[in-house]
Structure 1
């Protein structure tokens, strides 16, 4: 635990807030893994402001891939009572931005890495960026995973699950609807097409589709809610009360079961006159057969599969045909919060599971 906490303190000290650079952390981890005997490949982002890492140690086929993102959510506007970028102990809990989501897992992985001089099976590590804003980084890395690392038998994405094996979560697609109308004086409003009316009609269509999904859409009782969901989060338009607005926009999302493609849901949503829709981001869902992740289940104190409400990068690895599971220390209820923290016992459990998983 002493070494895990030393590493975690270094990781927390890098303020890798999403949309900012992460290169200082990547430089440090790259040197750390090279010193530990790993072959390391850096994957720069297209804008050059960030990078990910793919690392491997060990010979032969198969092996296990341990995956994490390096970015953390902002601290602005949160009421922190301690330095978010310094590791602080309070009793049995360790505080700092990213302790739970998900630098605690990375610290466990790096502490393990120092001990793996000649593993019986390959051990691989993938670190990404910008996961917190819709898995923006991993699509720039995913096509290099197998060419660089080989094909692992198992991928463990270490998002916080209290070390329960999460075999599924919904995917997400986000959209911007652009609504066009005709500007005119409000005294003559019936003579013009009001862009806000189109936006309102679209939102009603979204509501109708959500009701249909609840009533007759695909259902998964392990999910809450058990069906795919449609949500309108932002509507804006108009410049003055006495002007008929000629433009408006609606931002909405579809969080879909892995078995229900978002395109099928979108195709049922009626688009009013003057409304067009463009996708602004997406990540796939996850649906894993527990039989394919037996090596992990065999070393967990509680191998009962579960599913999680939030999205992860796991679906990208599963799409490569790699058996993939989400399993990491801590709980998401403690992430994204002021004074974010993780129990030391959770890190200890994670370290034990990783050691058993990679043992000969």
Structure 2
């Protein structure tokens, strides 16, 4: 059977696991671990604290540092309220495309990896090949964050990672981070006829948002020279402000949901320091002058590291040699790559399918894209065997 046929069959199996982030991924992980274990891979199923999610880290080849990681997330976004033309968890083929939830984001890459693994397993590899499947990428890269901690604890140090998010097989060497916060304001309720007797949480939330908007303009002035992102600066936006119960009640509780997409860690630190200083220096003293128990708390929902382009990138060199690409791009969407980079690996994002299809009804991956991915992976198998 040709590798593309194997890939199709495996992709159909993977899509049939409804691994929406809110649900367990354990069955898919067990399925992949069994397949890899049968080929002689050393498999580590790393379960989270809830017992309902797990990462898979499998190794083929010599047990030493300096390995190559092929990584994909196992979770998918929900299908609720989407108008699918067929069952989203039953793969179908039509017009050179394979349809199903996760087809491009990113079970297509995982299927190609699992189809090509027998080639790696049949050869004497010069360095380890690691297959990594993570959980909960779609809700904050939670699995990858746990994985790098587990690898550090086990003293496993791969040297590079290829993250197979859908890039149409273009090499992506950089993307912004994605940081999400919810800031909660607790004031003092009271009758609307005597506003000075209460602490209006909504009004202080508005003042907070105003400060965020001021800082948004400051970020533009901090644009790094030669930034290739679009827009080239760190962006900040407010997604939701909630609070209050009635026209004539001073609201005692409010919250602001906001996000930051930093081009550098320095910008993330700058914004957090600025808003926290504003709260400590201006908002809280004014609130507590009326009500001593008033508080403002910034909750971190998720802080996903960006992938910073670097001059010396072994992953970029290897993937360019395998694909024939003449350059590398940056993108606006986030991935787990920055976490691997922070762990000390060189990293790129390169995988089959288009991000334009991700998260939409009738998600699909072009079969030609899977063939291009298979060609890259078979080339890597040859490179590791020949080096």
TM range (shorter): over 0.9
What is residue 111 of structure 1 aligned with on the other side? 115
Deviations 1:276-324 (A, max 9, x none): 3232221111114254231211111324111111111111111121111
Asked if the contact 2:223–2:232 (Cα under 8 Å) also holds between the matched residues in 1, the reply is no
RMSD over aligned Cα atoms: 1.7
Whole-Å Cα distance in 1 between the matches of residues 331 and 360 of structure 2? 18
Q: Does 1:25 align with 2:28?
A: yes
Whole-Å Cα distance in 1 between the matches of residues 100 and 60 of structure 2? 30
What is residue 297 of structure 1 aligned with on the other side? 320
Name which of 357, 365, 368 aligns with 1:345.
368
Q: Does 1:238 align with 2:259?
A: no
Further displaced range: 171-180 or 218-227: 218-227
Whole-Å Cα distance in 2 between the matches of residues 92 and 49 of structure 1? 36
What is residue 96 of structure 1 aligned with on the other side? 100
Report the Cα offset of residue 263 of structure 1. Answer: 2.0
TM-score between the two structures when normalised by the length of structure 2: 0.89
Name which of 58, 61, 69 aligns with 2:61.
58
Whole-Å Cα distance in 2 between the matches of residues 225 and 16 of structure 1? 33
Structure 1 unaligned regions, length at least 5:
none
Report the Cα offset of residue 185 of structure 1. Answer: 1.3
What is residue 335 of structure 1 aligned with on the other side? 358
Whole-Å Cα distance in 2 between the matches of residues 149 and 29 of structure 1? 24
* Structure holding more helix per residue: 2
What is residue 76 of structure 2 aligned with on the other side? 72
Report the Cα offset of residue 89 of structure 1. Answer: 1.1
Whole-Å Cα distance in 1 between the matches of residues 97 and 209 of structure 2? 44
Deviations 1:63-88 (A, max 9, x none): 32101110000000111111100111
Structure 2 unaligned regions, length at least 5:
288-295
Further displaced range: 132-141 or 271-280: 271-280
Asked if the contact 1:288–1:323 (Cα under 8 Å) also holds between the matched residues in 2, the reply is no
Question: How many residue pairs were aligned?
Answer: 360
Evaluate the alpha carbon distance shift between residue 245 and residue 147 of structure 1 in structure 2; reply closer, same or farther with a 3 A threshold: closer
Report the Cα offset of residue 130 of structure 1. Answer: 0.4
